[in-house]
Amino acid sequence: MKQSSRNREESTEVQDALKSCLPSFSNVAIFSAVVNILALTGSIYMLQVYDRVLSSRSIPTLIGLSLITLAAYALSGGLDMLRGKMLARIGARFDEILAPRVFDLVATMPLKGAKQAESMQPIRDVDTIRGFLSGLGPTALFDMPFMPIFLIGCFMIHPWVGIMSTIGGVCIVFLTIYTDSKSKEPSYQVTKSGAERQALAETSRRNAEAIRALGMLSFLGKRYDEVHVRHVNDGLASSESSAGISAFAKVFRMVLQSGVLGLGALLVIEGQMSGGLMIAGSILMSRALAPIEIAVAHWKGFTASRQAYRRLQHIMSIVPAQGQRMPLPAPKQAVSVEEVYVSAPGAQFPIVQAASLRLQAGQGLGLIGPSASGKSTLARALVGVWPSMRGEIRLDGAALDQWEPDALGRHIGYLPQDVELFEGTVAENISRFQPNAKPEDVIAAAKTAGAHDLILNLPDGYDTKIGESGASLSGGQRQRVALARALYGNPFLVVLDEPNASLDGAGDEALNQAILAVRQRGGIVVVITHRPAALGQVDQVAIMEEGRIKAMGPRDEVLQGVMKRNTTPAPQQAPTVRVQPAQAQAGNLREVG
């Protein structure tokens, strides 16, 4: 119940962002009221010309009326321009409010099991809503409340003119509703296929070297072509679903306007109205139905924005923002893992089962075992990347979820198995892009990682631009820079996943010295490796098999036990336990229409 209540609260974030723009919307409404009042200028001018100027043949009267009308049109145009600029700023304000939250979603959703297309969807959704708010679509919504004024004017000119205008407006409204029902599903499909195409293109771009070297270009090209054709077809279906209706609505309005003129001519012939009233009635009816026509013309954008709004609400409800937490003191004593079960994001079967261990300050743990035994999964859980399904991981007695994510990150150093660097300088990557990073701290981390001399040999030293994903560096250089990043700020817990995979002998020695330096300053190091060279400076070793910690103890004793066990038959495979997550991710981050 508590979680459900929290989700309902979080699901109003987009609505709250719109509410924060209410003062600006109020100003737009005021401007719209004046613009709509000034829209009566044409009808009044035509009425005066036909019924006063032509009958009196007064040129001064015509000039005076024309100047007043010109001034009214200029004022209307200026206010309409300002209204458009205000709407553009409302869209920008909406984007500004949600941008930090959306980035948090993009960075968090992959950890919840979302696909790449789903992870990037919040950015596209905010862009869609901002684009609609900044366009002409909202002007129709602000103009619609003034439709009754123009319809009343039509009835004042003549009841039959008012009746024809009202019937025409009702018909166009029904056309609008029909447009919505026909375009809803095609609009959803074109958004979905567009996201899939973008994800495939981005994946191909990031893996261009492997695609070219392994001869995968043709295969992936066919796959992209299939997705692209589906997206184009979805776009055609979306356009065709509303294009015919929009064209019919436009033609219907033209026919209706001409019909009012014909009706007015009949009434003039019968002496029930003047020629000026006939023209004024046609203009009033056209103005009364203009908001509906604008709404129909921009209905595609409105439908897309409504779907984007619902998707954002849905995603924000199942990936709620992290609330403020009490600041905790820096950990200095121990790391404990208490009967922890961990699964991959979105999965229900645990990879790590009933893992327990405890490390005191100054200790180093080597985590070894066969491939797919759960070592990297446990590493991700230790640093808080993957939450545990059951059990707790604690720093000095505090569970990881009691820390603010960024605050926790300052006490953790992590070198993932797949090294990822960011576009920028070497110094920026080592300092984790902290704006106020001290040069001496960056250099100290590099020296501890044994990367200082390596960095100095780069073209611009610490100011060398490394490109996206560190493309300008070799694999070993990337790993050394990433190790320096893990050691930056002297974190209490340092987790290194296959840190020597790309290192040579000198790199192995530098790694061991870095592990020793962390232990000597009272930190804790967890090293995951398949190479014994990385175990030279750890004092504890744990063996993982089939997701469980089979043995843990002093390094030499455990390694001797491994050597003895290799001469005996392997133990019977332990059964896999299925554990349900403590809090299931509702909907698995799927899109909603």
Distances in whole angstroms, Cα of residue 332 to Cα of each of 134, 203, 391, 441: 52, 41, 22, 20
Mean pLDDT value across residues 539-547: 90
Has this prediction a pTM greater than 0.75? no
Cβ neighbors of 133 (< 8 A, separation 6 or more) are: 87, 90, 91, 94, 305
Whether CATH 1.20.1560.10 fits 2-318: yes
Q: To the nearest whole number, what is the mean pLDDT of the chain?
A: 82
Range with lowest mean pLDDT among 96-105, 319-328, 491-500: 319-328
Q: What is the pLDDT of residue 117?
A: 65
Find the range with the poorest average confidence among 398-407, 489-498, 503-512, 575-584.
575-584
The sheet with strand 334-342 has its strands ordered as: 352-360, 334-342, 390-395, 398-399
Query: 215 pLDDT exceeds 80?
Result: no
* Alpha-carbon distance values, 435 to 420, 432, 442, 444, 485 (Å): 20, 9, 12, 17, 15
Lowest model confidence (mean pLDDT) among 110-124, 181-195, 273-287, 571-585? 571-585
* Matching fold, domains 2-318 and 334-570: no
User: CB neighbours of 13 closer than 8 A, spacing ≥ 6?
Assistant: 98, 101, 312, 313, 316, 321
Going by C-alpha positions, the residue among 323, 385, 403, 309 that lies closest to residue 98 is: 309
Cα–Cα distance for residue pair 364/519, rounded to 1 Å: 7
Give the confidence band of 577 by pLDDT, cuts at 50, 70, 90.
very low
Range of lowest pLDDT (17-21, 443-447, 564-568): 564-568
Q: What percent of the chain has pLDDT over 70?
A: 89
Least confident of 53-67, 82-96, 272-286, 455-469: 272-286
The pLDDT of 117-129, averaged and rounded, is 83
> What's the pLDDT score for residue 11?
53
E strands, 155-287, where? none
pLDDT of residue 295: 76
pLDDT at residue 449 is higher than 70 = yes
Give the architecture-level CATH label for domain 334-570. 3-Layer(aba) Sandwich (3.40)
Confidence of residue 484 (pLDDT cuts 50, 70, 90): very high
List, in order, residues 6 or more apart from 281 with CB less than 8 Å away: 43, 154, 157, 158, 161, 260, 264, 273
Amino acid identity of residue 471, one-letter, is A
351 DSSP assignment: S
Tell the burial category of 493 from Cβ atoms under 10 Å away from its Cβ (0-12, 13-18, 19+). Answer: buried
For residue 469, count CB atoms less than 10 angstroms from its CB and return exposed for 0-12, middle for 13-18, buried for 19 or more: middle
**Domain definitions of the chain by residue range:** 2-318, 334-570
What pLDDT score was predicted for residue 335?
A: 92
Residues 213-223, mean pLDDT to the nearest whole number: 75
Q: What DSSP character marks residue 51?
A: I
Separation CA 103–CA 119 (nearest Å): 10
pLDDT band at 266 (very low <50, low <70, confident <90, very high): confident
Phi, psi of 526 (to 5 degrees): -120, 120
